[in-house]
Amino acid sequence: QQPVQSPQAVILREGEDAVINCSSSKALYSVHWYRQKHGEAPVFLMILLKGGEQKGHDKISASFNEKKQQSSLYLTASQLSYSGTYFCGTERSGGGADGLTFGKGTHLIIQP
Amino acid sequence: ETGVTQTPRHLVMGMTNKKSLKCEQHLGHNAMYWYKQSAKKPLELMFVYNFKEQTENNSVPSRFSPECPNSSHLFLHLHTLQPEDSALYLCASSQGLAGGGTQYFGPGTRLTVL
């Protein structure tokens, strides 16, 4: 079952913050976040495993609430390079055997 | 050599043609995947191979035929495609059962079916 991402699109000015949500109606093993720029392959950002955790590097972090089956991606002090489409991909079992089920994506536009 | 490579990068074919897409990973991974990305649609999983064995076929029409001769190479054979099959086809690899599900994507093949 496809996870639901919100919002569908965000327009920000450089330096502003953004939150992108990803929710599932099914129990999840992990949530993966990717960013894709136009005409390029999706680039892995981070993975969050069940058990509920938070991760982050630089100004991009994420959380996974296992009880709600919801993950959020936090972009703080956004930079122009953050523009792109953000996808969450979910796994219901571990190890990659089932592949990822992706949401429809959130389009993020950062303006100077 | 970059992690996951795909050839060709662009392909135009007629509905009666037969062609193949190639994917190669240089990461020592054990699992490989084919995804389809159409305009205004999410990435759709097509096939999963773990240790060269197909573990997932996500209800993909038989005009798409995958082949995984070894852990480093993955092919997608195409025949009698339809115009609605035009899309970006992405290959990915991961450690698989051995070490987690983080997937690394290749640059994709942009396919146009006339």
**Residue entry with tokens 């970006």:** B88
Answer positive or negative: Cα dihedral of A79, A81, A83, A89. negative
Whole-number pLDDT of residue B55: 77
Whether the CB of A38 is below 8 Å from some CB of chain B: the reply is no
Q: Which residues of chain B have pLDDT under 50?
A: 98-99
Examine residue B69 and say whether the peptide bond preceding it is cis (omega within 30 degrees of 0): no
Query: What pLDDT digit, counting tens, does each position of A54-93 carry?
Result: 667 778 999 998 888 899 999 999 999 999 999 999 988 7
Whole-number pLDDT of residue B99: 47
Structure tokens at A59: 């100004």
Determine contact, residues B91/B74, Cβ cutoff 8 Å.
yes
Structure tokens at B26: 């240089």
Q: Which of A105, A81, A91 is nearest to A6 (CA)?
A: A105
Identify from A98, A104, A106 which residue to disrupt to test chain B contact, counting B C-beta atoms within 10 A and taking the largest count.
A98
Residues of A within 8 A of B4 (CB-CB) are 41
Core vs surface per residue A1-16: b (16+ CB within 10 A) or e: eebebeeeebebeeee
Determine contact, residues A100/A91, Cβ cutoff 8 Å.
yes
Segment A29-47 shows an average pLDDT of 90
φ, ψ (nearest 5 deg) of residue A9: -150, 150
